[in-house]
């Protein structure tokens, strides 16, 4: 009787030992998985630093060219996240002030700079606009981010001389600082009134794919093709 009881106790002890061992192994496996997940590299980040042309002014949510960029990257299985840091009405001074915090927080691999139109609308001196854009690009480069500079024209009523001088800033800086240039964000729709909202300044939803197609050929060569599995 005692022998049978000891045998039963021994069996229970063995079962308990095996159960504890299984739990311990499960914990180790879970911990290893968590460590592996934590060690997995984060997606590289594209930051779009822009104004209303990139901030979906007057458009349905997630229909602007930046949202379309995010969708294209996903469709082509290119593993990037896109942070739209655009604010309607922003100037190059505003972008210059905001960029350091964005770099610190998001650590972007690529910065797309789409600013300057509001400077012209507000009569900001061309030298100030140029200096601000130069600082923005240099700050991004100092953080090891690649830069895409997006060029703009201003309305013809500003006069041909001013219009040309304003636009020349972008090409000059792109050459000086060795960054890629989108010559004109609104290329292809600039003479199509039906592609603009009632203010004739902001593109419609239907125009957004054109804007993306203007940016994409310049951006695409900078992307690391680390595809999503």
- Active centre residues (catalytic): 52, 199, 202
First to last CA, the chain: 62
Cβ atoms within 10 Å, residue 199:
8
Give the distance, in angstroms, between the CA of residue 202 and the centroid of all CA atoms in the same chain.
Answer: 21
Exposure string for 151-186, b = 16+ CB within 10 A, e = fewer:
bbbbeeebeeeebeebbebbeebbeeeebbbbbebb
Cα–Cα distance, 189 to 176 (Å, whole number): 29
Cβ proximity of 135 and 115 under 8 Å: no
């Amino acid at each position: 009787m005692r022998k049978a009881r000891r045998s039963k106790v021994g069996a229970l002890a063995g079962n308990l030992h095996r159960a504890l061992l299984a739990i311990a192994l499960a914990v180790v496996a879970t911990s290893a998985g968590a460590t592996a997940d934590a060690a997995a590299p984060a997606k590289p980040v594209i930051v779009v630093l822009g104004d209303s042309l990139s901030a979906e002014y007057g458009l349905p949510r997630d229909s602007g060219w930046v949202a379309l960029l995010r969708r294209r990257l996903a469709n082509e299985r290119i593993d990037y996240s896109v942070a739209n840091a655009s604010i309607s009405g922003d100037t190059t001074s505003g972008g210059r002030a905001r960029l350091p915090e964005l770099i610190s927080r998001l650590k972007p691999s690529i910065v797309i700079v789409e600013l300057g139109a509001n400077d012209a609308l507000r009569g900001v001196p061309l030298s100030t606009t140029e200096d601000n854009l130069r600082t923005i690009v240099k700050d991004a480069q100092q953080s090891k981010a690649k830069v895409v500079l997006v060029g703009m024209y201003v309305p013809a009523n500003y006069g041909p001389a001013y219009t040309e001088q304003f636009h020349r800033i972008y090409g000059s800086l792109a050459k000086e600082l060795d960054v890629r240039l989108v010559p004109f964000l609104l290329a292809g729709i600039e003479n199509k009134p039906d592609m603009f909202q009632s203010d004739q300044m902001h593109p419609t939803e239907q125009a957004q794919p054109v804007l993306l197609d203007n940016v994409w050929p310049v951006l695409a060569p900078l992307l690391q093709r680390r595809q999503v599995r």
